[in-house]
Each structure stands twice: as structure tokens, then as C-alpha cells.
Amino acid sequence: MATITSLGAGSGLDLESLLTNLMTAESAPLTALQKKVSSYNTKISSLGTLKSKLSALQTAAAALKTEVGKTALDKFASYTATVADTTVATATATTGAVAGTYALNVTQLAQAQRFVSSTFASTSTAVGSIGDTLTFDFATLDSSGNSRSKTITLDSSNNTLTGLRNAINNANMGVTATIVNGTSGAQLVFTGEQGLDNEITIGGPLATQFTEELPALDATYTLNGIAATSTTNVSSKVLDGVTINLAKLGTTTLTVAADYTTNMTTALNAFITAYNAANTTMTTMGAYDATSKTAGALQGNQVLRDAQTQVRSLIYSTTTGGTSSYQHLSELGVTVGTDGSLSLDSTKLSNALAADPSAAAALVAKVGTAFNTELEKTVGTTGRIQIATNSATAMIKDLTDRQDSLQLHLDAIEARYRAQFTALDTLVSRLNSTSDYLTQQLASLTSSTSGS
């Protein structure tokens, strides 16, 4: 008899399909466990999305908070500095400036000291004897308290106008040397840096070759009649946060103005964008479509419900307290739509800032602090979302362990069924063979009886 290689091959019965159907029924508990694992994985993914949106909202809220060492108004202030006559001066303003108007009178511009040499026939003409020196002594000390001095000694490499120019420039001492080829010949010109602090005294045998053409000068000017000086024509120390660029002698007006609307509008719009994104995500995740009978990924989830309640409550309940003229975001032009989304009336915000900028800024900062603090309880490393995620992860591990155990049990059941069906297949195959043999023998006897 031939060896049976697959179920049903010997008996002709569809035992393989029967076994498959039996194992499908036996596997129903395993399928249920797999669906639960899939459900928990979906929950973890959805919680991750929720955390991402709420974290973005927390970041936008943190940008509204008051910074350490600053007032709420400082947080949103930007300043501009304008000069009525820009030929006299220009100015810029940054954080730390104070709004005000100043009468500016420039009486002297800062100037760099300049020396010019005698006239030489050409740039390759010797300027002195080998060993001669040219010493530069500066008016102020260096950062270590030592005198600033530099000596150039003539040798075969620098004993020409060109060589001396290069030696001065390579010394990196704050002096720039150039050669001017005039109608009478070549002359070496070297220039120091602006201001009396950089005044130079030259010495040595070569000093007789040079004449001071321009003295070093500090810039002098007055602001509202108060005298001020600067070693350069760029002054940034007289008015906090303001840099003045002096251009020529004369009088003009410097105006420093504060702008709170631009930065606050930008910050509030960023907050509103993040809030609306989070609101849309939470609404979608918690929704149920009765028509399609489809539930959102976190429909009925407690963490989601708590988060929705939390952010909506903060919008309405956060106030500055006290006697501030602005207590709620709605008074700054932030309104809540029927779908829970926020929008900003920039005109109303501008009017509020014009009326009482400090109160408006205090309210915005209070909202930022409240959202940042409360959202941390939801999205932080020990927050509600992380706790729910850890719980779901633990459930997946437990379900996976149960699946592994159940799979071993199912493998044993399948092996038993297969052994039983194999035995049945073999038995039926033998019976079929016996039947065929008996049929042949009976046919042979019938044939013999008919012949006799």
C-alpha cells in the first residue's frame, strides 16, 4: 500500500479542510487576544499623538510666560530708535531700551590719528639704516595692565617703503599702513584706531621721517544737554539698549519708541494655532459617528476627557486677579468659537495694549504660566498620558504572554488532531484497499461460475 503523504490522500476525504476548520474554532480565544493587543497598540499610538499636540501647546504657552528678571511687559516689548536728521546720526534699539525723546547735539566726531612719511623716490627706496627702529607707544594699557608698545627694527627684509608698510601691518597692533604714490613721490601713511585711548606716540631714529597729519579724537555730544563722549562714532553705553551712530556735527532729535503689539500678537497667534490643533485632535479622537457607527481612537477615554476639560477650563478661568483692567483673554480679543477653537481680534488687542499695556501683558503671562503648569500634569514624564501609556504597555505584555501560552496549547491540539486524522486516513485507505480486493475476487468468482 502506498504511503500517505497528506491528509485525505489515502481516504479521499477532505481531512485537511476539516482540520483547518477545527483549528479556526479552537483559535477563537487567540484571535480575541490579538484583537485586544491591536486595540492597545492603537491606544498607545493615539495617546502619543495627543501628547504631541498638547506638548506643542505647552511650548507655545511657555513662550507667553514672564522671563526671570523681567516684567511681563518686557517679555513682549520691542523698541525702535529713529533720528529726525539721519545725516547727523542714525540709531537702533534693542531689549532694555526705554521709550523717550532726546535732543542730540553732535559737537565732535571721533577720529583716528594719522601720520605721513617724508617723500621717497619709489616704494623700493631705503627708508633708513639697518638696525634703525620705529617705536609705537599707545596711550592706554592692555587688558593685563601693561603698557602697549611695539617696535619695528629695520633689516634687509623691511628696509624699504614697501617692507616697512608690510612690517607695520603684520604686527597686528591696531595700526594700518598704506603707500600713497603722489606727484612728488611715494609716501607711507599709517593710521591708528579712533579715540584718545588709541593715541600713539612714535619714537626711534625713524620717527623723524613721519609727521602727525591728524590727531586722535573722541566723539563728543550731548543728549538733552547732558555731555557724553565715545572713543568711536558708535556709542552704545549712554542710553540702555540704544546704539547711536554719529555721522556729522549738528543737532537733531532721537526718538525711542516701544512696540508691544507685534510680539504679543505673534505669541498669541502661535498659542492659538497650537490650541486649535490640540482641540481638533481631541475632538476627532473623542467623537462618535452615529451614521457610520465609527468611534474615535480615544472615544470615552478618561485621559482625553480630562485633557479637554483642562484646556477649556483654563481659557475661561485664568485671570490676573486684583484690580487689573484686563482679567480674561476675551477682553484682549481672544474668542471661543462654537467648535471650541480660538481666534484673535488684533484690533481689540491693539486697543487694549494702547490703553493699559502692563495689565494686558500680565494677563497673557498669567495664561502662559497656567497652561504650562497644568499641561505638565498631563504631558510630563509622570503625567496622565505617560501613566496611561505605561498601563497599556503592561497590558500588551500580559496579553502577549497569554498568546504565547495559548499558541503552545493550540500547537499541541493541532498535532493531536493531525495524528488522529492521519490514523483515520490510513485506516480508511486500508479498508478501501480491502474493499477493492474483495470486489475483484467476487467478480472473478462470478465470472468462473458463469463459465461452468
Tell me the pTM: 0.67
What is the Cα–Cα distance from 141 to 147, expressed in whole angstroms? 5
Q: Is the dihedral of CA 313, 319, 321, 327 positive or negative?
A: negative
Q: In angstroms, rounded to a whole number, what is the distance separating the alpha carbons of residues 24 and 401?
A: 20
Q: Residue 189 is placed in which grid cell?
A: 601713511
Alpha-carbon span 330 to 333, nearest angstrom: 5
Give CA separation, 362 vs 311, 323, 400, in Å.
19, 12, 53
Q: How confident is the model at residue 410, as a pLDDT?
A: 74
Burial of 233 (0-12, 13-18, 19+ CB in 10 A): buried
Q: What is the pLDDT at residue 6?
A: 65
pLDDT at position 441 is 67
- Domain coordinates in residue numbering, the chain: 1-77+260-425, 78-109+219-259, 112-214
Query: What is residue 226's predicted lDDT score, i.e. its pLDDT?
Result: 96
Segment-wise mean pLDDT, segments of 10 residues, the chain, 452 residues: 50 69 75 77 88 96 89 88 97 90 97 96 93 93 81 94 95 94 95 94 95 96 96 94 96 94 95 96 90 86 93 91 87 94 95 93 94 94 91 81 76 77 71 72 69 56
- pLDDT value of position 3: 40
Polymer length in residues for the chain: 452
Cα separation, 307 vs 316, in Å, equals 15
Q: What are the cell numbers at 180?
A: 600713497
Report the pLDDT value the prediction gives residue 425, as an integer from 0 to 100. Answer: 65
Amino acid at 25: A
Return the bridge partners of 115, or none: 190, 212
CB count, 10 Å around CB of 326? 21
Give the number of C-alpha atoms closer than 13 A to the C-alpha of residue 359, restricted to the C-beta side.
20
pLDDT in the model for residue 7: 63
CA atoms within 13 Å, Cβ hemisphere of 2: 8
Name the 3-class secondary structure at 54: helix
pLDDT at 331: 94
Q: HSE-up of 37 (CA within 13 Å, CB side)? A: 15
Backbone angles phi, psi at 26, to 5 degrees: -65, -30
Residue-wise pLDDT tens digits, 142-152: 777 788 899 99
Asked if 105 and 226 count as a contact pair (C-beta separation under 8 A), the reply is no
- Name beta bridge partners: 212: 115
